Structure 1
Amino acid sequence: MSTDYQKAREALGLRLRELRLTAPDGQLTGTALARILGWPNSRISKLELGRQTATTEDLRQWADACGQPGAYEELRARLAGFESHIRSWRRQLATGHRPVQEAHNEAQASSTVLRAWESSWVVGVLQTPDYARAVLTRSAELHQSPRDVEAAVRARMKRQELLYTGGRKYHILLWEPVLRSLVCSPSVLAAQLDRLSGVIGMDSVELGVVPLATSLKVPPGTGFWIYNDQQVVTEVWHAEMWLDDADSVALYLRTWKTLRESAVYGSEAQNLISAARRSLHPR
């Protein structure tokens, strides 16, 4: 968790405490507020100390319980301010995966130069429906989120229209293990590899593969996107981060360019994809 994010969460906690202590009918103790809300005392403490992130509903209930419902919009704005950078999966997936896919569709549609590095799976804009279905199903199982997999797959497939509408260029780097990772069935992966082979040569996509045996100047790390060299989107197990400060963007751009130095393109990339494809059905 970033220092700036934690500081913002602690600042929100201080504001929540202030509302509790300045309730119009007299200050409330933490125990009294917990009783009104039907929450455990520990939750009050964690929110005020910035050890837990409130939901918008938490903030609404807090403001009402403290007799200051008018403070809700201010609290919500504070939360939106730091969650625009770090978006927890718990909150993002509360209504399923489709809204997350649509947010990425919008971000990519508004970009003209898109750079990606992926070390775990094929990037969404190049996925087949069956591959996307497998990945999204496993994600829903992991996060125990609402099952809207088919709607999410349709939203992710809609993103692929951007490959054919012109006006943007995708510079995508995949680590070779992505070509062999069975995050789906072998038959689905085979079709996915065929899809990648067909992408090579498209004027809207520059697809590079970083061979497993090549020398790397930096560790592969986690995947990320860079939009217009101005915004970075990356994810960890608990959250997705949208970064737009100049220092962070510059760091990710240097990382991408360094990884690119180890990539192969064209026929060499095609050979790696073909080798992975053959390994699924050895003779």
Structure 2
Amino acid sequence: MTDFQQARAALGGRLRELRTSRPGGRLTGTQLAERLGWTQSKVSKLERGRQTATIEDLQQWAEGTDQPEAIGELRSLLNGIESHHRSWRRLLSSGHRALQENVNIQHAQSTIFHAWENAMIVGVLQTPDYARHVFSCYADLHRSPRDIEDAVRERMKRQQGIYDSRKKYHILMWEAALYSLICPPSILGGQLDRLAGVVGMDNVDLGIVPLSTPVKIPPASGFWIHDERLVVVETWHAGLRIDDADSVATYLRTWQTLQKSAVYGPDAHRIISRARRTISPH
């Protein structure tokens, strides 16, 4: 069981305790559901750790079991869950700008980065036009507020880090990411020009894993490692923050394994140039 699953199970167990130890007498799951206007299955899923409660759910639960004083404890348990696993529905509830501001803070607190990306250009190397299309795609997918211009400005601020001599970026990308047409070819062409200019920078080691090169593990989902203490992974439904030592070590080992298939310097530049000619032959 993962840390996230354990934390959600712990919250579910506490909710069950509140229901069964209600001052006025124990409530069944069905009785509590009727009180709250919920389905019985929702009560069951929350107690069994199969569904993550919202803060509103917890408020209603505490009041429905006549123990409103428990809300502080329940909120703390929920915060413990969300520090490691937060759905995009929650993360993007107020738009993309706020999330980018939080990511900027996270990056400001870190010095050495290891990144892997298999599907698109990493955010810290994106052009404004490319980033604009990325945010638009995800706003459509998650039906989130379309504060795209504000989000782009925040993402561009983060790029100041690659010129900071105190920071070091070890970035790996799969060659397939260079061809992903999530934007018009003209914009991708400009993005590839930008990427080519990064090769050889003092603070950035940019490696490309060629499509034709054997890999020892599948080039799966992207991730960032901060100072070998924190891993950030973005899935389709949620953002994950992983900070237990064993898991961080696994991600670092994954990065190191992928790096064995990567090329750098002039070889990386040739791959980027080839993609550039393919996308915009004229």
Q: CA deviation at 1:15?
A: 0.9
1:69 aligns with 2:68: yes
Q: Please list every run of 5 or more consecutive structure 1 residues that lacks an aligned counterpart in the other structure.
A: none
Instruction: Give TM-score, length-normalised by structure 1.
Output: 0.95
CA distance in 2, matches of 1:13, 1:259: 39
Amino acid at match of 1:262: S
Matching residue of 1:162 = 161
- What's 2:256 paired with? 257
Paired with 2:4 and 2:160, the residues of 1 have a C-alpha distance of 35
Runs of 4+ in 1 over 4 A off after TM superposition: none
Counterpart residue number, 1:138: 137
Residue 51 (structure 1) aligned with residue 50 (structure 2): yes
The answer for the alignment partner of 1:96 in structure 2 is 95
Output the amino acid matched with 1:56.
I
Name the CA distance, whole Å, in 2 between partners of 1:272 and 1:88. Answer: 36
The alignment of Structure 1 onto Structure 2 pairs a total of residues equal to: 282
Q: Determine if contact 2:132/2:148 at 8 Å carries over to the other structure.
A: yes
User: Match of 2:154, as an amino acid?
Assistant: A
Deviates more, 1:147-156 or 1:46-55: 147-156
SS of the residue corresponding to residue 217 of structure 1 reads coil
For residue 194 of structure 2, give the secondary structure of its aligned residue in structure 1: helix
Cα distance in 1, alignment partners of residues 44 and 150 from structure 2: 39
Matched-pair identity in %: 60
Distance of 1:7 and 1:227 partners within structure 2: 24
Aligned to 1:107: 106
Q: Which residue of 2 aligns with 1:229?
A: 228
Q: Which has the higher mean CA deviation after the structures are superposed, 123-132 or 20-29?
A: 20-29
Per the alignment, in what secondary structure is the counterpart of residue 92 of structure 2? helix
Contact 2:186/2:280 (8 A) holds in 1: no
Q: Take 2:215 and 2:280, find their aligned partners in 1: how far apart are those partners? A: 30
User: Which residue of 2 is the match for residue 173 of structure 1?
Assistant: 172
Q: Which amino acid aligns with 1:100?
A: L
Shift of 1:73: 1.2
Amino acid at match of 1:245: D
2:271 paired with 1:272: yes
How far off its partner does 1:169 sit?
0.6
**Conservation of the 8 A alpha-carbon contact between 1:55 and 1:91:** no
Which 5+ residue runs of structure 2 have no aligned equivalent?
none
Residue of structure 2 equivalent to 1:82: 81
Amino acid of the residue matched to residue 260 of structure 2? E
User: CA separation in 2, counterparts of 1:281 and 1:252?
Assistant: 35
**CA-atom RMSD in angstroms:** 1.5
Q: Partner of 1:10 in structure 2?
A: 9
Structure 1 range deviating more: 83-92 or 49-58: 83-92
Instruction: State the Cα deviation string for residues 238-278 of structure 1 (Å, max 9, x = none).
Output: 21211111111111111111111111111111111111111
Q: Does 1:209 align with 2:208?
A: yes
Aligned to 2:33: 34
CA distance in structure 2 between the aligned counterparts of 1:113 and 1:7, rounded to whole angstroms: 30
Structure 2 Cα separation of the partners of residues 238 and 230 of structure 1: 23
Name the structure 1 match of 2:123: 124
How far residue 37 of structure 1 moved from its aligned partner, in angstroms, is: 2.1
For 2:75 and 2:236, the matched residues in 1 are separated by 25
- 1:147-206 deviation digits (Å, cap 9, x = unpaired): 222222121111112222331011101110111111111111011101101111221111
CA-CA distance at 1:8 after TM superposition: 2.1
